[in-house]
Amino acid sequence: MLMRAMALASPGSGHVESREFERPRPSGNDVLVRVLACGVCRTDLHVVDGELPHVQPPIVPGHEIVGIVEAVGPDVTEHAPGDRVGVPWLGWACGRCESCRAGRENLCPDARFTGYQIDGGYAEYTIANASFCFRVPERYDAAHAAPLFCAGLIGYRAYRMAAPQRRLGVYGFGAAAHIIAQVAVHQGVDVYAFVTPGDREAAAFARQIGAIWSGFSNEAPPEPLDSAIIFAPVGALVPEALARIVPGGTVVCAGIHMSDIPSFPYRLLWEERVVRSVANLTRRDAREFLALAADLPLRTHVREYPLERANDALSDLRGGRLSGAAVLKP
């Protein structure tokens, strides 16, 4: 039986193509998922634009998947047909290496990632490892739940790394920022949003979400920040953010890809300021964040596209024409 998918046919081409594939069958600990919705993430852009290495076409992108389990492999115990599950970026880890044994499966050298090494959710069906699928909080429909599975999860991990006390700066107010800003506001943290210079619509969107201040990324906030998260893939924002945080503060780089960081004077790093990256996610991150999302009424702002318009969604994301997240629906 055939299924439709939007696949990357040529590395670095910048677009995906409609194709038909044989519908996969689950084996071992895999589940077959009928895709209800799949978020469009900036990492998908890095895959299709050739900014991540070793992409093997025809790969099907997409790692913010919400769907229904249609069939299970013989070793599956966590899920059953009819379950609604989410499938995130981390699709498999070995469980045996030093990183995995230390609870850092996000750093597993043999890890495999959905929509990168494993066919993802730009399709009617996908295969996923049952141990890396998660129940979807009931309060969200499929389209509004999809961004939780990367924008939410990576945002949450970055937020924990930033550990803001009172004032958090967020550079790049897109899908991840608009979710984690709501978590921060709920926890009593003041959010300061930094957007692309000139993008007044994004600045207004940030204030609508709950930021107490929003401005352009080359502006100074009214008060020094405890920490900052950089979601935009712009290396020049690292020294910019360092200049805005207090001594002992932290700048977290939350993307999988970033342009080169320019040189900057040591005085920006001095006084025990920290720059760190966030790599991928763990299943613990997923369980903690999804439990939080089940309790909080997070409002994910989405723009829906039919599956065949995946290139329009990618183009709108690339061009900065989205407030919130794009979501594909087969």
pLDDT tens, residue by residue, 224-283: 999 999 999 999 999 999 999 999 999 999 999 999 999 999 999 999 999 999 999 999
Q: How far apart are CA 84 and CA 80, in angstroms?
A: 9
What tens digit of pLDDT does each residue of 4-46 get?
999 998 988 999 999 999 999 999 999 999 999 999 999 999 9
Percent of the chain with pLDDT over 70: 100
Find the mean pLDDT for residues 140-157.
97
Find the mean pLDDT for residues 69-96.
98
pLDDT of 323: 87
Q: What is the mean pLDDT of the chain?
A: 96
Nearest of 200, 208, 218 to residue 177 by alpha carbon: 208
Q: Are residues 105 and 242 in the same domain?
A: no
For residue 51, give its domain range.
2-150+281-329
Q: Are residues 72 and 141 in the same domain?
A: yes
Q: Are residues 106 and 56 in the same domain?
A: yes
Q: Are residues 52 and 144 in the same domain?
A: yes
Q: Are residues 262 and 301 in the same domain?
A: no
pLDDT of 125: 98
Helix (H, G, I), strand (E, B) or coil at 54: coil
Q: How far apart are CA 4 and CA 307, in angstroms?
A: 9
Find the mean pLDDT for residues 39-61.
95
Alpha carbon distance, N-terminus to C-terminus of the chain: 17
What tens digit of pLDDT does each residue of 208-235 get?
999 999 999 999 999 999 999 999 999 9
Structure letter (DSSP) for residue 140 = S
Q: Are residues 190 and 61 in the same domain?
A: no
Q: Are residues 297 and 161 in the same domain?
A: no
Q: Are residues 10 and 145 in the same domain?
A: yes
Question: What's this model's pTM, rounded to 2 decimal places?
Answer: 0.94
**3-state SS track over 70-111:** EEECCCCCCCCCCCEEEECCEEECCCCCHHHHCCCHHHCCCC
What tens digit of pLDDT does each residue of 193-209 get?
999 999 999 999 999 99
Confidence of residue 96 (pLDDT cuts 50, 70, 90): very high
The enclosing domain of 18 has a CATH number of 3.90.180.10
Q: Are residues 221 and 128 in the same domain?
A: no
The enclosing domain of 217 has a CATH number of 3.40.50.720
Q: Are residues 69 and 130 in the same domain?
A: yes
Find the mean pLDDT for residues 83-110.
98
Chain centre distance of CA 248: 27
Residue 297 has pLDDT above 90, yes or no: no
Q: Are residues 36 and 165 in the same domain?
A: no
Alpha-helical (H) ranges within the chain are 42-48, 98-101, 142-145, 151-162, 175-186, 200-209, 237-242, 283-295, 310-318
Q: Are residues 266 and 128 in the same domain?
A: no
Find the mean pLDDT for residues 138-147.
97
Using an 8 Å Cβ cutoff, are 273 and 242 in contact?
yes
Q: Give the total number of structural domains in the chain.
A: 2
